[in-house]
Amino acid sequence: MKKDILTLIDLNKEDFECFFNRAFELKKRHKQGIVETSLAGKTLGLVFDKPSTRTRLSFETAMAQLGGTAIFIAASDTQMARNEPVKDTARALSRYLDGLAIRTFSQDLLAEFAKYSSISVINALTDLYHPCQVLSDLMTVIEFKKGYKGLKMVWVGDGNNVSHSWINAASVLGLNLVLACPQEYLPDRAILDAAIEKGSGSIEITSDPFAAAAHADVIYTDVWASMGKESESVLRKQVFKSFQVNQDLLKEASKEVIVMHCLPAHRGEEISEAVLEGPCSVIWEQAENKLHMHKAILEILISNRSMTNS
Ligand code: CP
Ligand code: NVA
């Protein structure tokens, strides 16, 4: 296991399994009312440059439930906003904290943080990736489908940060992933090529959401305009209008299809109200599992559970 979680392509299959196993164990123990103390005396810093509801609160709650402490600071309130170099900030924060979750725009900035930090740095979303989201999403898939092997997973919509983390996961775990995206908003070619070259999974791209959805076991969507792309919203609504996850699309899928969305959702855009609130939706379980997976991630990284190398 590496020191940091910056992207899922850096993990191996054993790392994924280690996170899944511990997350399921911690979820079970939480439901049984067992009080954890594995991170007593430890402190997680959260430095966020973009808004967050679930990721922030689930990481903060995760620390509390493991007996540790979380400290949130908006990046705009730090000296970085007054041009203190990242390498100086990273080294100073490493003297106070035991782990650092960062939500920011640039993956390079995150990587620089990790390079100069002696503590674990966790990607809590960048423009390029959202690895912890997809780790907890896979936990939800395993929960509902009793595993991930042999499933047809379909991404519908923007080739964005979350889709890139799905592509990485598909590469490492050997998933069957089909991404239906408009030609103008395909996933990053370099990320896709690297994942295909490195991995054993089947990763396909199409611009036909109905063909993609045929016999799907999992249909996943996300906003059409991610954070930082809001000025393109009007244009994107036009381009993406045939990429809505709605009841017509679900007719193509397996009868047992589950529908996933990382949230926040825009009803009537990437997903219809009927599907979001309907029987195929596992979206609230998916949101809950962020808590359990974040607990596993923090425990494993901060208390060095299962660390084999760095
Ligand atoms: N899914 C997710 O990352 O949600 P937030 O932006 O609310 O953290
Ligand atoms: N793709 C979305 C995910 C939000 C959790 C964004 O980056 O805004």
Distance of CA 70 to the CA centre of its chain: 20
274 and 197 together in one domain: yes
Residue 200: the pLDDT is 82
Q: Residue of the nearest CA to atom 8 in ligand 2?
A: 226
196 and 242 together in one domain: yes
Contact 233, 239 (CB under 8 A): no
> What does pTM read for this prediction?
0.96
Residue 172: the pLDDT is 97
* Domain span at 93: 8-129+288-302
Q: How far is the CA of 133 from the centre of ligand 1 (A)?
A: 8
Give the number of the ligand closest to the Cα of residue 58.
Answer: 1
Domains: count for the chain: 2
- Decide: 53 in ligand 1 pocket, CB within 6 A: yes
Cβ-based neighbour number of residue 309 at 10 Å: 6
101 and 137 together in one domain: no
173 and 268 together in one domain: yes
The pair of three-digit structure tokens given for residue 241, joined into one six-digit string: 């209008």
Give the number of the ligand closest to the Cα of residue 222.
Answer: 2
231 and 295 together in one domain: no
Residue 310: the pLDDT is 37
- Decide: 286 in ligand 2 pocket, CB within 6 A: no
Contact 199, 174 (CB under 8 A): yes
Q: Residue of the nearest CA to atom 4 in ligand 1?
A: 54
CA separation for the pair 131, 151 (Å, rounded): 20
The pair of three-digit structure tokens given for residue 64, joined into one six-digit string: 């509390």
For ligand 1, what atom is nearest to the CA of residue 55? 8
Residue 201: the pLDDT is 85
Q: Where would I find the H helices in the chain?
A: 13-31, 54-65, 86-94, 107-116, 131-145, 161-173, 189-198, 209-213, 233-239, 247-250, 273-276, 283-302
96 and 140 together in one domain: no
Q: How far is the CA of 211 from the centre of ligand 2 (A)?
A: 25
Measured between its terminal Cα atoms, the distance across the chain in Å is 6
69 and 200 together in one domain: no
Residues of the chain where predicted confidence (pLDDT) is lower than 70: 305-310
Residue type, 112: E
149 and 272 together in one domain: yes
Q: How far is the CA of 309 from the centre of ligand 2 (A)?
A: 31
What's the pLDDT tens digit per position in 67-114? 999 999 999 999 999 999 999 999 999 999 999 999 999 999 999 999
Pairing of β 69-74 and β 258-261: unpaired
273 and 227 together in one domain: yes
For ligand 1, what atom is nearest to the CA of residue 58? 8
Give the DSSP letter of residue 200: S
Give which of 173, 162, 260, 178 is closest to 214, Cα–Cα.
178
What's the pLDDT tens digit per position in 245-267? 999 999 999 999 999 999 999 99
Q: How far is the CA of 308 from the centre of ligand 1 (A)?
A: 30
Mutate to test the pocket of ligand 1, among 132, 262, 266 (most ligand atoms within 8 A of CB): 262
Residue 197: the pLDDT is 93
Contacting residues for 44 by C-beta, under 8 A, at least 6 apart? 59, 63, 68, 69, 70, 71, 97, 98, 99, 100, 101, 298, 302
292 and 281 together in one domain: no
Q: CA dihedral defined by 157, 159, 165, 168, rounded to 10 degrees?
A: 110
187 and 241 together in one domain: yes
Peptide bond into 264 cis (omega under 30): yes
- In a domain, residue 308? The reply is no
Maximum Cα–Cα distance across the chain: 55
CATH code, domain with 29: 3.40.50.1370
Q: How far is the CA of 127 from the centre of ligand 2 (A)?
A: 8
Give which of 7, 115, 95, 102 is closest to 43, Cα–Cα.
95
Residue 304: the pLDDT is 73
- In a domain, residue 37? The reply is yes
